[in-house]
Amino acid sequence: MAVVEMARVDASTSTFLLVHSHLAMLTIGLLGSEEQKQDLLPRMAKFELVGCWALTEPSNGSDASGLTTTATKVP
């Protein structure tokens, strides 16, 4: 796998590529609407858009299992 070889030289670059391709693009590919897929994935494949992933929240730090959310119905 190319990312494994890249990690031997530069771990931060391989992490960037994994986040972009697997966490961002794969999630859109699996769960995105057709419109999102058609709009975002071709541009992400060309690195015109860069995907990211955020975990840290002010009230929880990096404890993903402690994250909570609420929804408010808007009339």
Q: Which residues are paired to 22 by β-bridges?
A: none
- What is the arithmetic mean of pLDDT over 39-68? 84
The confidence score (pLDDT) of residue 63 equals: 78
- What is the arithmetic mean of pLDDT over 44-71? 82
57 vs 29 pLDDT, higher one: 29
Q: Give the amino acid at 14.
A: S
CB 18 within 8 A of CB 3: yes
The confidence score (pLDDT) of residue 25 equals: 93
pLDDT in tens, 26-36: 999 999 999 99
Is it the case that residue 45 has pLDDT exceeding 90?
A: yes
The string of DSSP codes covering 10-68 is -HHHHHHHHIIIIIIIHHHHHHS-HHHHHHHHHHHHTTSS-------BTTTBT-GGG--
Is it the case that residue 70 has pLDDT exceeding 80?
A: yes
Question: Rounded to two decimals, what is the model's pTM?
Answer: 0.65
